[in-house]
A and B are shown apart, each in its own frame.
Chain A
Amino acid sequence: KQEVTQIPAALSVPEGENLVLNCSFTDSAIYNLQWFRQDPGKGLTSLLLIQSSQREQTSGRLNASLDKSSGRSTLYIAASQPGDSATYLCAVRPSNNAGNMLTFGGGTRLMVKP
């Protein structure tokens, strides 16, 4: 059974810092991995999607990497801003591509202080 863990569970940083959020998964047989952002009481916003054959994806100040063999992904946020404060979730899709049955990590709650 796939298990996804995100460390740390919470993180507080001053504005302007570069930071790394971690995601690890126990079964390396994944089809892809997706990073989401969730604001309090809201739905999930897709940030980056990495296919299993890819090593990284970039969007603006965000960069996500994937090391499938070691079961790890990182989300790098450059020059953090208060507007980045949210919970960040990673989710994996199994390699049998069983529809949209994703397994989610518990999330990292990020607070960026002005």
Chain B
Amino acid sequence: KAGVTQTPRYLIKTRGQQVTLSCSPISGHRSVSWYQQTPGQGLQFLFEYFSETQRNKGNFPGRFSGRQFSNSRSEMNVSTLELGDSALYLCASSPGHLNTGELFFGEGSRLTVL
């Protein structure tokens, strides 16, 4: 069974550009969450999607957005990139509606903003 797949793994952008990251959850998983990891702030929750609807949102500016497709794949977008957006963006999936189970993470997309 394939794990959580994130693309691209690495990317470099310049300030002011926008970026789109993709996440394919484990087959059968309907919930996809996004986290940002930086050395200073650690792991912080961005948002979660379930059945194409945003279920939760963390404390990030509106430049950060996401969506989920009918096949549960998810994308997140960051517009007007800032230097501080440089981070490892991690996607996680979980099965079912009741989140009693484990959260499974992908390898992440490392974004560098110059």
How many inter-chain residue pairs (CB < 8 Å) link A and B? 67
Q: Interface range on chain A: under 10, 10 to 19, 20 to 34, or 35 or more?
A: 20 to 34
Query: Is B90 in the interface zone, CB < 8 Å from A?
Result: yes
Query: Is A60 in the interface zone, CB < 8 Å from B?
Result: no
Size of interface on B: residues with Cβ below 8 Å to A: 30
Known interface pairs A43-B90, A43-B108. Does A100 touch B58 (Cβ–Cβ under 8 Å)? no
Interface residues of A (CB under 8 A from B): 31-32, 34, 36, 41-46, 49, 51, 89, 91, 93, 97-107
| Interchain Cβ contacts under 8 Å between A and B, 19 examples | A31-B100, A43-B6, A43-B90, A43-B105, A43-B108, A44-B92, A89-B43, A97-B98, A97-B99, A99-B55, A100-B31, A100-B56, A101-B45, A101-B48, A102-B45, A102-B103, A104-B42, A105-B42, A106-B42
